[in-house]
Amino acid sequence: MINALRKHWPEYLMEAWGLGTFMVIACVGTAVLWHPDSPVEHWVGESPYIQRLLMGVAMGLTAIGIVYSPWGKRSGAHINPVLTLTFLRLGKVAPWDALFYVIFQFIGAIAGVAISWLLLGSVISIPQVNFAITIPGSAGVWTAFVAETLISASIMGTVLFTTNKPKIMHFTGVIIGCLIVIYITFEAPMSGMSMNPARTVGSAVIANEWAGWWLYFLAPPIGMLAAAEIYLWTKGKDAIHCAKLHHTLDVRCIFCGYEPEMMNSGKNTEVQKTIQLK
C-alpha cells in the first residue's frame, strides 16, 4: 500500500482533479440551464430536450477535454470508481491502485460540488438546481435501475471495443463524449444519467439528498461488469491491452508499466507494439 501511494500519488490526485472538474461543470451547467433567473433558462426553458441537449454537449465536451488533457492521459481518465473496479476485474489495474483511485474519485467529486457551492452560493442550492443531484425520474426507481444498468453496460462495452482497436483507439474520448450527449439528452429523465456512484455521492453529500442512492451503487457495476464479461467471453483476456482511455507514448502508464524513456531504450515492449500515435 505504502509503495503504491509513494509511486503513484500523482495519478491519484489527477483522478480527483478529473472528477472534481467534471462536477464543477455539471453544477455550473445545471445552474445556467435551469435556474429561473438565468437568461439561458428563459431562452430554452420551454424545451426540456434543448436544455438537456445543451447540458449533454457541455458534459460531453468536458469528458473529452479530461480524457485528452495531459493529466487525463497520465491517469487514464477513469473518473469513475466502477470503471476502475471493472478494469481491476479484468486484471489491468493493481488492487492498491484501484483502492486509491476509488478513494480519490470520491474525494474529487465531493470537492467539486463544494467548490461549486463556494463559487455560486445560493444559486446552486435552489430546488431547480439542487447541486446537480442525480435521482430516479418520475417513472420510478426500477426504471432508473434498468436505465442505469443499460447505459453503464454500453459505455463499458464501447471503452473496451475502442481502446483495443489500434485504428480507432485514439478516438475513444470523442466517442465517449458523444455517448454522454445522447444519454443526457434522452436517458437523464429516467435516472439523472449518473453511471457513477462517486458523481452521485458528490452531489448527494452537499445537498443531503439521498433518494434512490443505492441504485447508483448497484446498477453501474452490474452493467459494466456484465459488458466486461461479455468482452472476455468473445475476445479473451489477451485482447485487452491497458486500462487507460487514451494511451500515448509521451506519459508514463502505471497500469502497463510503460515509461516514456522506453521509446529510446531499444526495448520491444508490448505497448510499443499496440499503441499507434497519430
Q: What is the pLDDT of residues 113-133, one digit of tens each?
A: 999 999 999 999 999 999 999
> What whole-number distance in Å separates Cα of residue 92 and Cα of residue 19?
21
Residue 268 pLDDT: 47
| 3-state DSSP helix/strand/coil % of the chain, to nearest 5 | 70, 0, 30
Residue 267 pLDDT: 52
Q: ∠ CA(157), CA(177), CA(234), 5° rounding?
A: 10
Residue 141: name the closest of 198, 200, 219, 56 by CA.
219
Q: Is 90 exposed, middle or buried (0-12, 13-18, 19+ CB in 10 A)?
A: middle
Matching residue, cell 466486461: 228
> What whole-number distance in Å separates Cα of residue 103 and Cα of residue 8?
14
List of the chain residues with pLDDT < 50: 268, 276-278
Residue 277 pLDDT: 42
Per DSSP, 93 falls in state S
CA distances to 50, 112, 119, 264 from 193, rounded to whole Å, are: 16, 18, 24, 44
Residue 259 pLDDT: 82
The whole-model pTM stands at 0.92
Cell matching residue 104: 480519490
Coil, strand or helix at 212: coil
Per DSSP, 129 falls in state T
CA distances to 102, 233, 238 from 229, rounded to whole Å, are: 21, 6, 13
Residue ranges covered by each domain of the chain: 2-247
Residue 45 pLDDT: 78
Per CATH, domain 2-247 is 1.20.1080.10: yes
Residue 46 pLDDT: 80
Residue 262 pLDDT: 64
